[in-house]
Structure 1
Amino acid sequence: MNGKKLLAGAAVLAVAGVSVSSAVRDDTLAPPPIVDHGPVRLVAFDSCDNALTELRRAMSPYVSAYGLGGRPQIFTMGDATTNSAGNAEKAMPSTPPAQQQEHSTTNVHEQGVDEPDIVKTDGKRVVSIADGKLRIIDVATRAVTGVVDLGDRYASQLLVQGDRALVVANSPMRIEKPALPPDMPSFAPESGTELILVDLKALKEISSLKTDGYYLDARQVGGTARVVVRSQPRLPWVYPNETTNEAGSLRRNREILQSEPIQAWLPRYELNENGARSSGTLVDCANVSRPAAPSATSMLTVLTFDLSGKLGTGQPVSIIADGDTVYGTDRSLYVADDHRLLPELPSRPPVQRPITTAIHQFDISRPGPPEHVASGDVSGTLLNQYSLSEHDGVLRVATTTGTETRCCWRVPTDQANTPAPPPSESFVTTLRRDGNQLAKVGQVGGLGKGERIYSVRFIGKMGYVVTFRQTDPLYTLDLSDPRQPRVTGELKITGFSAYLHPAGDGRLIGVGQEANDQGRTLGTQVSLFDVRNPAAPQRLAQYHLPDSNSEAQFDPHAFLFWPQDGTLVIPVTAYKTYQEISSVVLRVDGDQLRDGGKIVEPQTGTNYGGGQRRTIVIGDQLWSISASGVQVNARNGLTQQAWLPFTR
């Protein structure tokens, strides 16, 4: 790592090259040196024996009769209301397509940084993932021209570059684990991520890479894809049962901790490259660095793939930390961790504690694996990746603070005397890289006291934050001076926007829910805001569809805005019947939102996918894709031009 400094809370291990060894990898860079930074001392393990000793020591305080951290726990956030939109899929973003394009692309946060989705198009073909099959639809002939059957793997997303597709699938690796008691839900189930490289021209799977861990997210710049996964140690914990009490289970788990080998902590892989199979651990323990007081309960790994070449093992770069939110520009990749998955120390009663979010920055400006360059932390938690935005070297971060309460199955006897948590409050904090730190530059708070953030959008030097409990304040923020960010205006309306999208000319589109004065949601709402005067934001127009919900609230990839003619499309589902109303088409016409009609999917025997999920623009047509098929409609007038049913 060439003496690279690391910051508090982060520990980095870097791996270079691609290996197909069946043992611990040895094709690594030289171990990083000991680094001191402030009160944190980061050291590199000089041997596997030393690594094992330190990892066991770090995990020991968390071991209980139920594995790590005691019985399952429930998390609440201050006294803010629950936000299903914020917890959905750590939503993804959107930038209007370039004016010269004749087809839309995936709605993404940063221009030039692609994000995985269930549909991709280059204007000549449409590639979709549904029911375990990758399908290629030719635009000119409006026909399915190729199918790649991915078997029983749950393929959820894909990235495309040329004639290559990288498919993300959930495919558990074989791990021997004891069965949990029937009344004991597992908070750490067997899990694995499989990345499948597909040749779209030859219609065949080229190679696949399995890693043990949860898939977090991915980003693609040019032909390079970077995938972030989170892995946990694989220790065969035991649990109390009819023959073993808690004391016996705790004793046995402590013995397991001291007996398991180093491979139980290191992430593993299984690679199938053109029929040649290999497996092993991704990293050599001599390359592992860690802070002076790690928990050793999880590890983040960033995998890098050149989609035009071999898949390999992804040139992993890992940090001993947790993570839940990924945000990327064309030069930096950020992974944020709000520490919510850190187990509670079993020796302590449930507590209320302030929560913070750690943010780790990786440099991806050069080919090959990323380099960890800085870390920092902020108070509170993020909503999703839109809570992060880098502009002119400054990272803007929107968070909601409060108190996280962990409540176990056993209610403390003194719970009645537990003080009430402080009210929640939201902030925007600016950070700038200073050496190996993401150092705080400025901050503005006081947003939505007693509420929480429901949506965020940063556009240039402006920021827009929606908080909600009973009414929806839309705050406008001036971030032109990172040292003194300030709130410039506020608009209070009923309901909330769960996703905000720039519409040009000082206008902003919001997709969310209408609500009554008590905060009860009433159905899908689309708002058109005028933010040209930051001191006095206004709502110009509103569309409301009662008793409905839209996937665009939870996943902005489901949102389409075509600025050339103002076409806006979102999929909508009815509350009571859970039936798709297919896609709602609106037109942004100056200061108006005009109802353009609905795209209704044909009801046939092949309808098994639950309705349309994505709509894309290709020329003068709208292509709406579901798991059942593809429907083509005229962009003007919505006349149906074709229906291409998928077959199982």
Structure 2
Amino acid sequence: MAAKPALKLVAFDSCAQLEKELRAAAKKYGGGPAAVDDLRAVPEAARGAGVPAEKSYSGTNVHEAGADEPDIVKTDGRRIVTVTGGVLKVVDAATRTQTGRLDLGIEAFGEPKLLLSGDHALVLGDGGPSYLKDAARIQRPFRGRSEVLLVDLSGTPRLLSRYRGDGSLVDARQTGSVARVVLSSTPQIDAWLPTWEITTGSDRATGRLDCSQVHKPETFTGAAMLRVLTFDLNANSLSDGSPVAMVADGDAVYATPASLYIANNQGMAFRRFDGAGRDTEIYRFTLPPAGKPAYVASGKVPGTLLNQYSMSEWDGHLRVATTDPDTQSSAVRVLRETSGKLTEVGAATGLGKGERIYSVRFIGARGYVVTFRQTDPLYSLDLADPAKPRVTGELKINGYSAHLQPVGENRLVGIGQEATAEGRPLGTQVSLFDVSDPASPRRLDQHVVANAFSEAEADPHAVLWWPATSLLVIPVSDVRADGPLALHVSGDQLRQESRIAMAGPVRRSLVIGDVLWSLSDSGMLASRLSTLDRIAWVATR
């Protein structure tokens, strides 16, 4: 007899059962409206309506090739599409002029982001931060609604279709022209199930999630609900997204072209209610080339994740790096899918005792983990044998790396902060590591900008790595200037090419042909890629 999978998803028998169990979970763990007993029942009849070829332009810096991630700027090599302040703008790369502008009328909270396919852009607006689960987390509005907008770029930008749905935007991934958008919602005063509306031209359609399509883990610790929506960017209008729904929360999304993982640091969120340990639940979905994902497995690991880079699928296994806040140490665990369950088959534990994880990078059969409190141990791990993952080397230096970027064979760049021996940050630090010897990782070179901060420390999308010329560009801000910092990785050295001055904080950099483009909220600077000399400034308004 096959083993019974933990956290197996099963359908609810009825809408009444769904409401009853959500009420009980909300009372026990929180996460639902305060006036739980005053909520109206859900009516029984309620129903919802591989490695790419080398290009002459750069894409978004993403975790996995073939799984694009939303960002504030995208390019197809001909045009640059940005969204700032709820306004979509198009710049023609050849003429270096702004050729289009569209006020999107977004009501959602937070900074909108983009995905791009052909002549269409998909704009994602977040419904707001989530319910207060921990003292350090922000509270979402009860009525937060996320938005998905389909925009035609073939001429003057025009809005084709808009989807507004209850809940917050967790994240999204795109493979080919198909985007999967993950939303998280919590019960509202007037309804337990999330609703949506779709506007296309003068047509407007509304719907509510069909309770018979809501699935649940065998146990769950709250009333939050995840929905995975599927949209084809090549279509001329948006649908309801063919939602795949489950009673669970989600904080981090990781994907390959074939798999989508949603992780929930649920133990951290609800510890104060029941004293439970701090664990992370992980749900895996398979991604067909078109159509909605299919749930296939789930599991749980001790500790909490830093971000999506804490997960990596390789050779039929999922590697997960977590920190246990109680023991103040970290581990890398290897999971394998068996009968609907993600089961641990091996673990390397005891990393960075008294510290927490600041960055993770998995590359094939090897892994790299940075922990920090006062010094920065960079751990090198051998993951070739899933049953026996092991630490092979350790490098201790001052400061820390908040992001690890591969920059060629056996080379990593760490982007973070230099620090004193006591752990006090001193400024942006870029480190070049040689990881050719698993037993002895070395720092070859270091570049520090005193009293500075880079958005790349918090958001890897702000990193530009252009292998054709071994150019690394990150935004840097300090008391003297804002602008991109350009470094060449030359042998064992980081050679500074320029600190390009710009008006206002720079957000992103990208390459099209022989031009380096740098984006700020007020415009885009075009510089010659070979010399970084200024070519043109394109004001976006």
Report the 3-state secondary structure (helix = DSSP H, G, I; strand = E; otherwise coil) of the residue aligned with 1:549. coil
Report the 3-state secondary structure (helix = DSSP H, G, I; strand = E; otherwise coil) of the residue aligned with 1:548. coil
State the alpha-carbon separation in 2 of the partners of residues 99 and 64 from structure 1.
46
Report the 3-state secondary structure (helix = DSSP H, G, I; strand = E; otherwise coil) of the residue aligned with 2:468. coil
State the alpha-carbon separation in 2 of the partners of residues 59 and 66 from structure 1.
8
Residue type of the partner of 1:534?
A: P
Question: Which residue among 15, 35, 53 is the counterpart of 1:48?
Answer: 15
Report the 3-state secondary structure (helix = DSSP H, G, I; strand = E; otherwise coil) of the residue aligned with 1:117. coil
State the alpha-carbon separation in 2 of the partners of residues 171 and 337 from structure 1.
19
- 1:583 corresponds to 2:487: no
Aligned to 1:393: 316
Residue type of the partner of 2:305?
A: L
- TM-score computed with the length of structure 1 as normaliser: 0.76
Question: Residues 351-430 of structure 1: matches in 2 within 5 Å?
Answer: 351=275, 353-403=276-326, 423-430=327-334
State the alpha-carbon separation in 1 of the partners of residues 435 and 12 from structure 2.
53
Residue type of the partner of 2:318?
A: L
| 1:10 Cα deviation from its structure 2 partner | 5.4
Aligned to 1:157: 113
Aligned to 1:275: 202
Q: Spell out, residue by residue over 1:290-311, the C-alpha distance to the aligned partner (whole angstroms, 9 max, x if none).
A: 3454345200110001111131
Aligned to 2:141: 189
Q: Spell out, residue by residue over 1:454-491, the C-alpha distance to the aligned partner (whole angstroms, 9 max, x if none).
A: 00000010000000000000000000000000100000
Aligned to 1:209: 163
Check whether the contact 1:528–1:541 (CA below 8 A) recurs between aligned residues: yes
State the alpha-carbon separation in 2 of the partners of residues 130 and 335 from structure 1.
28
Aligned to 2:516: 622
Residue type of the partner of 2:225?
A: M
Check whether the contact 1:358–1:377 (CA below 8 A) recurs between aligned residues: yes
Question: Residues 339-358 of structure 1: matches in 2 within 5 Å?
Answer: 339-340=266-267, 342-343=269-270, 351=275, 353-358=276-281
State the alpha-carbon separation in 1 of the partners of residues 71 and 101 from structure 2.
18
| 1:112 Cα deviation from its structure 2 partner | 1.1
Check whether the contact 2:122–2:150 (CA below 8 A) recurs between aligned residues: yes
State the alpha-carbon separation in 2 of the partners of residues 66 and 198 from structure 1.
35
Check whether the contact 1:136–1:147 (CA below 8 A) recurs between aligned residues: yes
Residue type of the partner of 1:389?
A: S
Aligned length: 515
Aligned to 1:200: 153
| 1:150 Cα deviation from its structure 2 partner | 1.1
| 1:227 Cα deviation from its structure 2 partner | 0.5
Aligned to 1:337: 264
| 1:49 Cα deviation from its structure 2 partner | 2.8
Of structures 1 and 2, the larger Rg is shown by 1
Aligned to 2:246: 319
Check whether the contact 2:271–2:277 (CA below 8 A) recurs between aligned residues: no
Q: 1:6/1:317 Cα in 2 relative to 1: closer, same or farther (>3 Å)? A: farther
Q: Spell out, residue by residue over 1:528-556, the C-alpha distance to the aligned partner (whole angstroms, 9 max, x if none).
A: 00000011110000000000000001000
Residue type of the partner of 1:442?
A: G
| 1:626 Cα deviation from its structure 2 partner | 1.1
Question: Which residue among 467, 478, 494 is the counterpart of 1:563?
Answer: 467
Percent of pairs identical after alignment? Answer: 49
Check whether the contact 1:530–1:540 (CA below 8 A) recurs between aligned residues: yes
State the alpha-carbon separation in 1 of the partners of residues 359 and 138 from structure 2.
31
| 1:57 Cα deviation from its structure 2 partner | 3.3
Q: 1:99/1:207 Cα in 2 relative to 1: closer, same or farther (>3 Å)? A: closer
Aligned to 2:538: 644
Q: Spell out, residue by residue over 1:70-89, the C-alpha distance to the aligned partner (whole angstroms, 9 max, x if none).
A: xxxxxxxxxxxxxxxxxxxx
Report the 3-state secondary structure (helix = DSSP H, G, I; strand = E; otherwise coil) of the residue aligned with 1:52. helix
Question: Residues 500-539 of structure 1: matches in 2 within 5 Å?
Answer: 500-539=404-443
| 1:56 Cα deviation from its structure 2 partner | 2.7
Question: Which residue among 318, 335, 339 is the counterpart of 1:431?
Answer: 335
Aligned to 2:493: 592
Report the 3-state secondary structure (helix = DSSP H, G, I; strand = E; otherwise coil) of the residue aligned with 1:8. coil
Report the 3-state secondary structure (helix = DSSP H, G, I; strand = E; otherwise coil) of the residue aligned with 2:223. coil
Aligned to 1:177: none
| 1:527 Cα deviation from its structure 2 partner | 0.4
| 1:642 Cα deviation from its structure 2 partner | 0.2
Q: Spell out, residue by residue over 1:73-130, the C-alpha distance to the aligned partner (whole angstroms, 9 max, x if none).
A: xxxxxxxxxxxxxxxxxxxxxx9x9673211111011111110001111111111111
Check whether the contact 1:224–1:304 (CA below 8 A) recurs between aligned residues: yes
Residue type of the partner of 1:464?
A: Y
- Unpaired runs of 5+ residues, structure 1, are 12-41, 70-94, 173-179, 236-259, 404-422, 604-609
| 1:620 Cα deviation from its structure 2 partner | 1.5
| 1:47 Cα deviation from its structure 2 partner | 2.6
| 1:171 Cα deviation from its structure 2 partner | 5.2
State the alpha-carbon separation in 1 of the partners of residues 417 and 329 from structure 2.
21
Aligned to 1:307: 233
State the alpha-carbon separation in 2 of the partners of residues 511 and 568 from structure 1.
11
| 1:366 Cα deviation from its structure 2 partner | 4.1
- Unpaired runs of 5+ residues, structure 2, are 37-49
| 1:581 Cα deviation from its structure 2 partner | 2.0
State the alpha-carbon separation in 2 of the partners of residues 360 and 541 from structure 1.
40
Check whether the contact 2:381–2:390 (CA below 8 A) recurs between aligned residues: yes
- 1:130 corresponds to 2:84: yes
Q: 1:312/1:66 Cα in 2 relative to 1: closer, same or farther (>3 Å)? A: closer
Check whether the contact 2:31–2:222 (CA below 8 A) recurs between aligned residues: no
Residue type of the partner of 2:374?
A: Q
Question: Which residue among 424, 437, 451 is the counterpart of 2:355?
Answer: 451
State the alpha-carbon separation in 2 of the partners of residues 124 and 521 from structure 1.
41
RMSD: 2.4
Q: 1:65/1:289 Cα in 2 relative to 1: closer, same or farther (>3 Å)? A: closer
Report the 3-state secondary structure (helix = DSSP H, G, I; strand = E; otherwise coil) of the residue aligned with 1:61. helix
Runs of 4+ in 1 over 4 A off after TM superposition: 4-7, 62-66, 340-346
Residue type of the partner of 2:25?
A: A
Aligned to 2:44: none
Report the 3-state secondary structure (helix = DSSP H, G, I; strand = E; otherwise coil) of the residue aligned with 1:107. coil
- 1:463 corresponds to 2:367: yes
Q: 1:301/1:99 Cα in 2 relative to 1: closer, same or farther (>3 Å)? A: closer
Q: 1:496/1:343 Cα in 2 relative to 1: closer, same or farther (>3 Å)? A: closer
State the alpha-carbon separation in 2 of the partners of residues 289 and 132 from structure 1.
34
Residue type of the partner of 1:197?
A: L
| 1:186 Cα deviation from its structure 2 partner | 7.7
Aligned to 2:126: 170
Check whether the contact 1:6–1:373 (CA below 8 A) recurs between aligned residues: no
Q: 1:62/1:360 Cα in 2 relative to 1: closer, same or farther (>3 Å)? A: closer
